[in-house]
Structure 1
Amino acid sequence: MQKLKEKLQSGKRIYGTAIVSPSKIWSNAVRSANLDFVFIDTEHIPLGRETVSEMCMLYSALNLNPIVRIPSPDPYTACTVLDGGAVGILVPYIETKEQVKELVGATKLRPIKGKKLNQFLDDPKSITPKLKKYIDERCKNNLLFINIESEPAVKNLSQILSVDGIDGIIIGPHDLSCSMGISEEYDHPKFEKAVKQIINKAAKKNIPVGIHLSEEPSYQIKWGNLGMNIILHSSDISIFSKNLVHDINEIKQGLEDVSSKSISKKSIII
C-alpha cells in the first residue's frame, strides 16, 4: 500500500481499471495485467458495504490497491469504506474547498470527528504533538482522490486545490463534457482546454491527475504525454462488452448473416 503512495508522490505513473463484478474469478485476470490499483465504483454500481469490503480484501491480498468511489461527498461514508479495507477513496462531483476539507478530515485525521475535527481542520497547530503522531501513523496510507467533473469545479479549482491532503485528481470526462454542453466530445477544443487547465494547476501543487475513459487507449496515451500520471482505463464490463460486440459482429459478417442487426459498439459509461 505504501508503494502506491510513494509512486504518486514521486510522480511515477500508476495504472488501474474499474471493477464492476464482485466475482472472485475476475481477480486473476485483473492481476495478470500488472496493475497498481483497482477502482471499485459505488456511485453508479449497486454494491453493498459488505460486498465492497470483500472486494477490497480480495484485491489487497493480490497487491492491487483498492480505491473506492463513494456515492457522494460524504465524510461518514468515506470512513465506512476505509474501515472496510479500502486503501483510498474517490469522491465524486467535488466543486468546493469546503467539501474537500471535510473529506480530508475523514481520511487524514481519523478517528477525530465532530467539533474537535472542525477545530483541527481550522487550526492544525491546535493538535497536540502526541495526538498528531498517533493520527499521522494511523492515517499514513489513506489516500484521497477527488473527481473534477463539472464547469464549476474547473472554475473553482484553485480554491479546491488550496486544501492540503489531496492525493490525486480523477477527471470525470462524461459528466464534465455534459456540464460543458459538449456531451462525450472528448476531442472538442473546449474540453481539451479544460483538461489541460486541470493538469497545469494540479502540477503546480504536485498533485497527480488522471482521467477515467473507456474509449480507445490512444486517449490515455495522449493525456499521459501531456502530464497525466494516473492511468485509469476502462472497466471489466466495458472491456468484456466491447470485445464481445466486436467478435459477434465479425462472426455475423463472416457468415453473411445480413438479417441480423449489427450490435452497437458504444462504450459503457460508469
Structure 2
Amino acid sequence: MTPSDLLHALHSGTPVFGTLIVSPSPRWPDAVRSCGLDFVFIDTEHIALDRAELSWMCQTYTALGLPPLVRIPSPDPYTATMVLDGGAAGVIAPYVETVEQVQALRGAVKLRPIKGQKLQRMLQGTAVEADLQNYIEEGAARRLLVINIESVPAMEALDDILAVPGLDAVLIGPHDLSCNLGVPEEWEHPKFLEACETIFRKARAAGVGAGIHFWGDVEQHARFLKMGANMLIQSGDISLFQKHLRLELAAVKKAAGMAAAASSDESVQV
C-alpha cells in the first residue's frame, strides 16, 4: 500500500490495519511485512527513538509497502515537518483539543513547504498562484494528517475539528480518553464505549477516517470495527511479544507438569 492508497482508504471507509512498532532492529521489518498489515505506527511520544533511527525505520517500511505513520511528542508543526523530512508517510499528533492546533498541523503537513507569512495567509483562505496550488495539492495527496482524540474537550470540539480541510483521520487514544472520562482502563464501561462510538460516527459522517489503537482481545477489536472504526492499530511489538511469551512459557510449564508446583509455591508465599 502506498501513502496515497492509505489516504484514500481512510476517507472512503475501507478498513485498514496497522500495529505499533518501536523496535529499530534491522531484522524487524522483514518479519513485520509478512503479517498482513496495511501500515505501521511508530511512536516517538512515549518511546525514545533518535532522529536517525526514526528516519531509517520510515525509509525501510516505506520501501516494503507499509506506510509509516509517526506519532510526534506533541502537536507541534515544526516536529511534524521534521519527521516528514525523515521519511514518514504521515503524522499522528497527540492530545489535540482545538481547531487552532489542527490548522497549524495542517500547515506543516498539507501545505509544505510553505512557511511564514505566506503560510498564515493560506491557512486563512488566501488563494495562491495556480502552479503553486497544484504543486501543494500533489504533495498533500501523499502525506497523511492524523490527530489523537483523547479528552472530553477534544470531543466537544470534534465537529469543528473534523471540518478542517486536509484532516485524514482521527485516532482514539483509549488510555488517555478513558482517564479523561473518569473511567481509567474500564474498556467495558458504557461511558467509554459511547465516547468511542460517537467519535467513530462523527468522523465517518465527515468523510474522515476513524481509528483506535487498542491491545485487547479479538472480540473487542471486532466490536470497534462494527461501531464504525475503519483504522485499527492492533497492539504493538512489545505487547505482542510479552503476551505470546507468557502464553508459550505457561504451556511449556504445564506440559512439563510444573504448573501445579508453581501454583502451590505462590499460595504458600501469599
TM, length-normalised to structure 2: 0.93
- Equivalent positions of 1:151-162 (< 5 A) are 151-162=152-163
Aligned equivalents of 1:261 and 1:22: distance in 2?
37
Task: Quote the residue 1:247 is aligned against.
Answer: 248
Task: Quote the residue 2:10 is aligned against.
Answer: 8
In structure 2, the gaps of 5 or more residues are none
Task: Quote the residue 2:82 is aligned against.
Answer: 80
Aligned equivalents of 2:191 and 2:140: distance in 1?
38
Q: Is the 8 A contact 2:7 2:141 kept in 1?
A: no
Task: Quote the residue 2:210 is aligned against.
Answer: 209
Q: Cα RMSD (Å) of the superposition?
A: 1.5
Cα distance per residue 1:134-166 (max 9 Å; x no partner): 211233200000000111111111121121111
Task: Quote the residue 1:121 is aligned against.
Answer: 123
Structure 1 residue 261: Cα displacement: 5.4
Q: Is the 8 A contact 1:93 1:148 kept in 2?
A: yes
Task: Quote the residue 2:234 is aligned against.
Answer: 233
Aligned partner of residue 126 in structure 1, secondary structure:
coil
Task: Quote the residue 2:224 is aligned against.
Answer: 223
How many residues are aligned here? 261
Cα distance per residue 1:21-80 (max 9 Å; x no partner): 010212122111111100000000000111000000111111111000000000000001
Aligned partner of residue 215 in structure 1, secondary structure:
coil
Letter in 1 for 2:237: D
Letter in 1 for 2:235: S
Task: Quote the residue 2:261 is aligned against.
Answer: 257
Cα distance per residue 1:86-127 (max 9 Å; x no partner): 10010000000000000000011001111211111012x422
Q: Is the 8 A contact 1:252 1:260 kept in 2?
A: no
Aligned equivalents of 1:189 and 1:11: distance in 2?
25
Aligned equivalents of 1:17 and 1:58: distance in 2?
16
Aligned equivalents of 2:141 and 2:193: distance in 1?
34
Task: Quote the residue 2:68 is aligned against.
Answer: 66
Aligned equivalents of 1:187 and 1:43: distance in 2?
26
* 1:100 is aligned to 2:81: no
TM, length-normalised to structure 1: 0.93
Tell me: CA distance 1:244–1:134, structure 2 relative to 1, closer, same or farther (3 Å). same
Aligned equivalents of 1:242 and 1:261: distance in 2?
21
Letter in 2 for 1:220: H
Task: Quote the residue 1:181 is aligned against.
Answer: 182
Cα distance per residue 1:142-195 (max 9 Å; x no partner): 000000011111111112112111101110000000111110001100111111
Letter in 1 for 2:37: L
Aligned equivalents of 1:139 and 1:202: distance in 2?
20
Aligned equivalents of 1:206 and 1:261: distance in 2?
53
Tell me: CA distance 1:88–1:261, structure 2 relative to 1, closer, same or farther (3 Å). farther
Letter in 2 for 1:143: L
